[in-house]
Structure 1
C-alpha cells in the first residue's frame, strides 16, 4: 500500500518519488522489516522522549491534536507524528512544534531509503523510521504518535514503552486489511478491530479508551491483559459529558473544561480522551489551565473545518463551506449530527473506490440539497453511478470541485466530503495549507 505525495522542493520530490515507488509485498505482514530498518539507523525508537501513542477508527488524529495543544500549553516541546498528510508530506512530521523542513526531510528520507534499499520496505515503514530518526535527533519533552491502519501490525508499534496509550472510537473501516482471515484472532468483526487497535498496549503502561459495545470492550480488556497493560475505560474508570462545557470526572476528582473550538459534538469526546490519557499517566505533569487552553487552541484541518475566504470558496461567496475528509459510517454519523442543527447543504463528494459509497449518504441524504460527485485526486474513485442507490436526488458529475461549485444553485451552504485526498486538494486550491 502506498500514499500520494508531491513537493515543490526538488530535493524532497526526488525522495518522494523513490518513496512512492515502494509497495507492500503481497503476503508480507509483520514488524520484522521495520525493525530491521530501524536497527540499521541506530534504533532511534528506543531513545525517544516520553510517548503518547494513539489508535482508533475515528478521532485518533483529533485526540493527538488535543494532546499536542495541551502539552504545548503546558510549555513543553512536543514532537508529533500524524497521518495522512493533506497537502504536504511534511505534515506527517512535526518537530518541537514545527513541520519538518524540506532540507531535513530530504536528508532523512534519503538516509532511510538508502539504508533499507535491499529490505524492500513499504511507504509507511520508511516514513515511520524517518519520523523516529527526526524525533531522536532533536531534543523535546514529549512525543505524540498516531498509528496508521489498525495498531498491531502498524509500523509505529515497534515502540516498547510509552507514557500512555489511547484508543479513540471503534468502527468498521479498512476491512480488507483489518479483517483478513487469520488464526487465533477474534472472529466477530468489531471485536477483531478492537483487538487490532488494543494491540498497541504496552506492559505497565495505561491503555486509556472510550466506551465500546460489550464485544469490543471484552476484546480490548483481553488483549491488554495479555500484553500486561492496565485498561482505563470510559464509563468504568473515567467519564465525561458535554453541554455548555465538558464535565470530566475520574477517581482523582472532577474537572470543568471548555468546549473545543473544533466543530462537531464528537470533538468533546476526543478532547476528553486526551484529558483522560494525561490524567492517568505519571510521567508528564499537566495542569488544569493547560488542559483548558489546549482544548480551545487545538486545530485539526479537514475535520468539519469551516473554510475561510479563498479561490474556491469565493466561487460561492457568502455561504458556509464545510470540509471533512471522513469516509466511513462513523464519520458520516458524526457529520450528520453536526449538520442536523444547520440548514440543508449541497454535498460535493469524492471517495476512493475501496470505500463504501453509502457511508456518508445514508446518514446525510435527507439533509442534502444536491449531490455532486468529483474525482479523488490521484486515486481510483467511485463513479457517480455508485452513489445513485444511496441518494433520492439526481447525482451530478463534475471534473473538479471548482466546476461543481460553479454549477450550484444560488442559495444553500456546502459540504465537501468523502476523502482526505480530496480534502487536501481543496485546502491547496483554497490556499489554506496546514502549517
Structure 2
C-alpha cells in the first residue's frame, strides 16, 4: 500500500526530479509537473491524497492552484512551498484553506512529516464521509470504527470467528463496545437469522434467575400459571450474549456451565431435558482468570468460555481514532437531534490527552454535548486534579499549549514551532502523538 499519492508542482525540473526520487524511496506515489496549468487540467483530485505546489511560478501561481483544488475537492490537502518573503502570503493562504506551508530550501524529512499528516487527514476525511453515507449499513467497518492497528486487527478477528461456531469471551473496560463486538459476531455469521438474546447477568435477581434462563413448567412455583420458555431456549438457532458474567453468583455459574457444556437445559419444575442450539458469547470488564484464581469465579466456567478470547482495546490505546469517532458521533447526534451543523465541533487538545476512563461511550457523550452546545463544562480524567500520573498531567498541559500556539499562528506549524521554541520536526511529531490538527477550523 502506498504511503500516499502526491501531486508535486514546481517550475524547476530539478526540484521535481529530486522530490520524486526522495518521496518515492519513502513509499509515496508521486506525480510531478513543471507547468501548473497542465497539472490542474490533467489530474483527477479523487486519485490524490495531497498536493504540494510552489507559490511563485510563471503562468499560474500556487495560490491559483490552491483555489482550483479547493473549489473541486475541498478536503484535499494542499501544501505550499514558499520563499522567505512569501511567508505572510502563505499564512493568509492557510486561512483560505491551505493545509500547511514549507519554506525553501526545505528539509526532506520535514516534507515527509508534513505529507504524512496531510495524507492522514485526507484518509480520515474519506473514512468519515464513508461512515456517514453508510449510516445504518451492514459493513463491519461501520460497526467497529477505527483506522488504528488494534481496531484493524480486531475487525479481522471478528470476521474470522463470525462463521465459526465456537463460544467467545469478550473482555474490555467499561464503554469499549463489548456488546457491539458480540452483535457483530452474530450478525456476520451463519446464526444471523436466529435471535440475538442479550442477558445482563448483573440485572437479573438471583431468585428468578433459573426461571429467566431455563424457563419453567406450569405450576413449578406459586404464580406459574403457564409454561414459560427461558431465554436460552428462546435463542434457538441464534446467539446468547452473557454480559457482565463476572457478576453472576457462584451457585448459578455451575448451572450455566452445565448448559454450555451439554447444550441442554432443564426447565424449573420439569424432569425432561431440552436441547438448545445456541452460540454463547460472554463479556467481562475484569480479568476472569484472576477472578477464578481468587475464588470469585469458577475456573471451569472460565476455561469453558475462554476457548477464544477477544480483547477490546481502551480508547487511550488508539488515540488516532479519537478525532474520527468524535466527528462521526457529532454528525449522528446532529441528525438525531435535528441540529444544524455548520462545521465539525472542535475537540479540545486537553481532551485528546485524556485517559478517557469511560472510553468510546464517554467520547460519544462528549460529542453529543458539543453538538447541543453544552460541552464546555465537560471534564474527563485528563482534567481532574489528583487522578492522573505526573506524565499524564504533563502530556495534557503540553497538548493544550501546542493547541493554543497553533491557534495563535492560524494553523502555521512553522510559526507555532518558533513561538514554542521547538524544532519544526519535533512539533510535527507531538502534533501526531496528541492527534492534533494544525489545519482544523481555527478561531481567528
TM range, smaller chain: under 0.3
Between Structure 1 and Structure 2, the one with more helix by share is 2
TM-score normalised by the chain length of structure 1: 0.25
**Highest Rg: 1 or 2?**
2
> Which of structures 1 and 2 has the larger relative contact order (alpha carbons within 8 angstroms, sep 6+)?
1
